[in-house]
Amino acid sequence: MNAYRLILYQKRETRWHYVRLTALPDGVLRTETGCCGLVPDQQEEITLPATTDARVVLRQAGESWQEKGYQKPAPQDVEVLTLHFQMRRWSGYPAGAPWYDDLTSAYLDPILQKLETTCNGLFRGNERFSGNHLYYYTILNSDLALETAEGIAAAAPVKFLLDIHIGRREKQVQIPIDPNVPEYLRSLFRVVEKSARSIAGELPVLFPGDPLQPEMIANGNAPKRVRGDEAARLRQVLKDKWNFDSNFWNPLTDASPSQVVFLNGMAPDKTQQIAAQIKSRLNAPLYLLDCEEGLFEISSDDLFKEVYEGVVFDADLNWVIYFSHHHTITFGGDWLIASVKDLYKEQPEMLNAWQ
């Protein structure tokens, strides 16, 4: 089951403070208050009636805190933390890089976890080119955010070249241009680059939508990152058995060493049927190797949810499902291919056809 959460903020002199309201699945409303960047200094829990709608309760509680001056900060009231890593160049998706697991486990995951735990920031995007990897976070108390990032970087067992920057906007690094490019094209590129970044800077909504709209948070089924020797083993088996190395796969390339079948998207009723068959045959755990984010254990309920570019498989690795950024879904493995073909026996034209 899922929990729901609502966070509001109030600025007192130079410090932002927060109230974090969490409706837990067991019918408990937890209220935590504190200074952004620090763990809560007060916590209260009350039991809700069994028939209570958690989202309604959170909205009502949020309204009462709004009357006390709590709100969502405006963009001009917050700053941006930029983590600028200078890495060895890597041409593919980041999750395939040999250093990616160390980067996420030693730096990115603990920094984001600390910012979220202390209500001092949220992730707002990233950029990468020519060995520059930039990660951006909206932050409320800059000195404590800087202390968090510097402390985690200092304690990291694997060291990367990192510059930490805090300002009203993201740190920008000029994209390198090959010296052989003619000067008139170089000038045009710089104009386009400047325009694109100006537009991008206006697009992100720091605290989007209705300020009293609760957000759903995973409760027990959140993806668990796989690290170390187990991650290395799974990646190697995927490479050896399926020729998948965190990059394009069938039908975008002819990478699969065996037969596959693919679709241009699937209707919900079809995904539910395939998910049910996988669940009945599953040798847990179920894994997702996301080409952008890395390797995770996931719930079978999340099999067809929010996957952009990556592959799903179980502990046996006898079947795979590849999701591409073109919204294709590719199936590998004898029994799984047979199941998909049987599911579409009345619509064979849907299989292996670009639309």
pLDDT value of position 203: 47
Kindly state whether residues 230 and 117 are assigned to the same domain. Answer: no
Q: Looking at the structure, do residues 256 and 346 belong to the same domain, yes or no? A: yes
Q: What is the reported pLDDT for 195?
A: 61
Q: Residues 15, 106: one domain?
A: no
Q: What tokens does 10 get?
A: 């109030």
In this structure, the answer to whether residues 109 and 46 fall within a common structural domain is no
Whether 46 and 155 map to the same domain: the answer is: no
What is the pTM (predicted TM-score) of this model? 0.84
List, in sequence order, the alpha helices (H) in 257-326. 268-281
Check which CATH number belongs to the domain holding 147 and give it. Answer: 3.30.70.1710
Beta partners for residue 62, in sequence order: none
**How far from 203 is each of 44, 72, 206, CA to CA, in Å?**
37, 17, 9
Looking at the fold, whether 253 and 331 belong to one and the same domain comes out as yes
> Are residues 248 and 165 located together in one domain of the fold?
no
The pLDDT, as a whole number, for residue 308 is: 77
User: How far is Cα 164 from Cα 159, in angstroms, rounded to an integer?
Assistant: 14
Determine the pLDDT at residue 314.
96
| pLDDT value for 63 | 96
Q: Do the Cβ atoms of 83 and 126 come closer than 8 Å?
A: no
Examine residue 189 and state whether it is found in any structural domain, yes or no. no
Residues in the chain: 355
**Same-domain status, 27 and 95:** no
β pairing state of 132-139 and 121-129:
antiparallel
Instruction: Give the per-residue pLDDT at 223.
Output: 82
Does 163 fall in a domain? yes
Whether 19 is covered by a domain: the verdict is: yes
Q: Is 94 part of a structural domain of the chain? A: yes
HSE-up (13 A, CA, CB side) for residue 252: 14
Three-class secondary structure of residue 28 per DSSP = strand
Which residue range forms the structural domain that includes residue 252? Answer: 224-350
Q: Residue 33 falls within a domain, yes or no?
A: yes
Same domain, yes or no: 273 and 164: no
**What letter does residue 48 receive in the DSSP assignment?**
P
Question: Residue 15 domain-assigned?
Answer: yes
The sign one gets for the Cα dihedral 217, 221, 227, 232 is negative
Name the domain count of the chain: 3
One pLDDT digit (tens) per residue for the chain, 355 residues: 678 999 999 999 999 999 999 999 888 999 999 999 999 999 999 998 888 888 999 999 999 999 999 999 988 899 999 999 999 888 788 998 999 999 999 999 999 999 999 999 999 989 888 888 999 999 999 999 999 999 999 999 999 999 999 999 888 886 665 566 676 565 665 555 566 555 555 544 456 578 899 998 866 566 889 988 999 999 999 999 999 999 999 999 999 999 999 999 899 999 999 999 999 999 889 999 999 999 999 988 888 877 679 999 999 999 999 999 889 999 999 999 999 999 999 999 999 987 6
- Model pLDDT, residue 17: 98
Same domain, 40 and 21: yes
Of 66, 85, 102, at which residue does a domain stop? 66
Whether 304 and 236 share a structural domain: yes
Last residue of a domain, one of 66, 91, 111: 66
Pick the last residue of a domain from 25, 49, 66: 66
pLDDT of residue 84: 96
123 part of a folded domain: yes
In a domain, 310, yes or no: yes
Q: Which of 293, 306, 310, 298 shows the shortest CA–CA distance to 104? A: 293
- Residues 169 and 82 occupy one common structural domain: yes
